[in-house]
Amino acid sequence: MRFRHRAAALLATLALPLTGLVALASPAQAATAATATYSKTQDWGSGFEGKWTVKNTGTTSLSSWTVEWDFPSGTKVTSAWDATVTNSGNHWTAKNLGWNGTLAPGASVSFGFNGSGTGSPAGCKLNGGSCDGTAVPGDAAPSAPGTPTASGVTDTSVKLSWSAATDDKGVKNYDVLRDGSKIATVTGTTYTDTGLTKGTAYSYAVQARDTADQTGPASGSVKVTTTGGGSTDPGTPAGKVNLGYFTEWGVYGRNYHVKNLVTSGSASKITHINYAFGNVKNGQCTVDDTFAAYEKAYTADQSVSGTADTWDQPLRGNFNQLRQLKAKYPNIKILYSFGGWTYSGGFGQAAQNAAAFAKSCKAVVEDPRWADVFDGIDIDWEYPNACGLTCDTSGAAAFKNLSQALRAEFGPDYLITAAITGDGSSGGKIDAADYGGAAQYLDWYNVMTYDYFGAWATTGPTAPHSPLTSYSGIPTAGFTSADAIAKLKAKGVPSAKLLLGIGFYGRGWTGVTQSAPGGTATGAAPGTYEAGIEDYKVLKNSCPVTGTVAGTAYAHCGTQWWSYDTPSTIAGKMTWAKNQGLGGAFFWEFSGDTSNGELVSAISSGLQ
């Protein structure tokens, strides 16, 4: 998905010299001593990137950390990673995530954020004490309890058990969290939740409170589905899969929100959503834009439920809107997709310790605040052992090893999928990694059977970016859907684990005089967000179809030449997919469709 994540839509990325190291830390001698140090790592005028580093300078391990500081009025955090950052007015608080809270003596961890304004932090506190390590409280917060186990599941109840947390002064009680909200406080290590709805999925975690009333990090989460609701296996959806990507950054310039899935009628016609994208940094999964993901407030008329967000509710943003969507359309399964064109550079490091990577991904997907939202994880590595935005040299086995580690960590009840190359050429990207061997660990592949040709070849020849089959004059042999699917089948991937990719956009050139494919051009045609690319909803009116080739459409209008799929060509591709025994189709991405969702409807009808 060559264009799929433009970081400039979210924040500036001007690489400026490291500036403004704030000397807030110095060594301390106490057994529980720790320091917090701030630096401004980038500054692009209208905003900046900041980084905090927490270091354990004592002789005993820290089980969790919380950094607090004040910004002057007009300066604020707009997005953050590797920590949960919240605020009350100008006072900001950052807490560790589930995977980076424990610090051995001498160890350190960093988290970062993007901010607006020109101010610097003041009044730093670390775990309630001084950030210079001279007054870190001796009473540490309790450790995380063990991940709960479920037993005695009925239509309306479930019994939970967990191993105890530890604390230097003793654990007083435990909060039981269901779908991120506290439902009970108990003194023991068991709890039975009652009054549940049959055939419904719930997610549970627990956190300990010590005698000083400090709460520690939440445990891992366990998913439980009550009985009485028929099949509960998310990996075997009834009928064919109709999956769409929802982009995190679409809530900005594109003004496309989860509610648009409802108003367009698309929500009733899809089976799955991939939420794109989580980032891959330092070999770990992490939330990319925290504001869009879980902080942005929605008014009543903007939200799926018709209820306005409040300033103090525990979850807002896209994640809360997706939760509301699932309540309205319980058949929809949602996966958190990591990587994409922009963020695939981190997978090489992740592959070096696949088990640690998988553990970090589970911590993000099953964060207690939104554990009920996601039914699985999608890995969009572009491309293992090959080149995309950057080149990877991790070896042909890396992708299989990563897939195996994810399945071992997430277990059999989660969906685990991957978006993969559609390069069916001899010696191409499909041949670079063990997609056949990895398939046993994955529920399906989203085969990116689009972006084969485009205006990165400035002078052409013009060619459809998503050809279903080959045709006379195709610029590169093997760059078709049929070739990619055939090659994957030959490598042992079952047909039912392959989804055909559809682009809800077109690619085009300008300076073209020839209507038929194969003409010369002078450059990329103008586009709303990027030259050479435009949404279907625009092209259907601005440059209507003038012909078809290889199962897809093209259009010549003035000096512009575009190729894109229409409801008619999608119908043909869905017939082909069914004849091939494929598991269904997926598309990139919702906001390219018309306001009444005509392309989603075409996929849905074609898969019947």
Average pLDDT taken over every residue of the chain? 89
Whether 361 shows a pLDDT value over 70: the answer reads: yes
pLDDT value, residue 44: 78
Average pLDDT over residues 175-181: 85
Name the CATH superfamily, with its identifier, for domain 149-225: Immunoglobulins (2.60.40.10)
Name the pLDDT band for 32 (thresholds 50, 70, 90): low
Q: Is the pLDDT of residue 592 over 80?
A: yes
Q: What was the pLDDT predicted at 261? A: 97
Overall average pLDDT of the 236-257 stretch? 88
- Return the pLDDT at 9: 36
Average the pLDDT over each of 109-118, 435-444, 466-475 and give the range with the smallest value.
Answer: 109-118
Q: What is the pLDDT of residue 21?
A: 34
Domain limits, CATH 2.60.40.290, in the chain: 7-130
Q: What is the pLDDT of residues 537-568, one digit of tens each?
A: 999 999 999 999 999 999 999 999 999 999 99
Task: With H, G, I as helix, E, B as strand and everything else as coil, classify residue 364.
Answer: helix
Mean pLDDT of the region 574-595? 97
Distances (CA, A) of 298 to 130, 417, 531, 604: 37, 30, 32, 30
- What's the pLDDT score for residue 230? 44
49, 382, 589, 598: the active-site residue: 382
Band of pLDDT at residue 235, cut at 50, 70 and 90 = very low
Least confident interval from 32-36, 175-179, 344-348, 380-384: 32-36
Q: Which regions of the chain carry the CATH code 3.20.20.80? A: 241-504+567-606
Residue range(s) occupied by CATH 2.60.40.10 in the chain: 149-225
Write down the pTM of the prediction.
Answer: 0.70
Note the pLDDT of residue 15.
Answer: 31
CATH fold of 7-130: Immunoglobulin-like (2.60.40)
Q: What is the pLDDT of residues 391-427, one digit of tens each?
A: 999 999 999 999 999 999 999 989 999 999 999 999 9
Q: What is the pLDDT of residue 5?
A: 38
What pLDDT sits at residue 167? 85
pLDDT band for position 221 (cuts 50, 70, 90): confident
Q: Which amino acid type is present at position 290?
A: T
382 included as an active-site residue: yes
- Residue 405 three-state SS: helix
User: Quick check: bond before 589 cis, omega within 30?
Assistant: yes
Q: Say which CATH architecture domain 241-504+567-606 belongs to.
A: Alpha-Beta Barrel (3.20)
For 253-289, give the secondary structure using H, E and C.
CCCCCHHHHHHCCHHHCCCEEEEEEEEEECCEEECCC
Residue 210 has pLDDT above 90, yes or no: no
HSE, side-chain direction, 13 A CA sphere, residue 480: 20
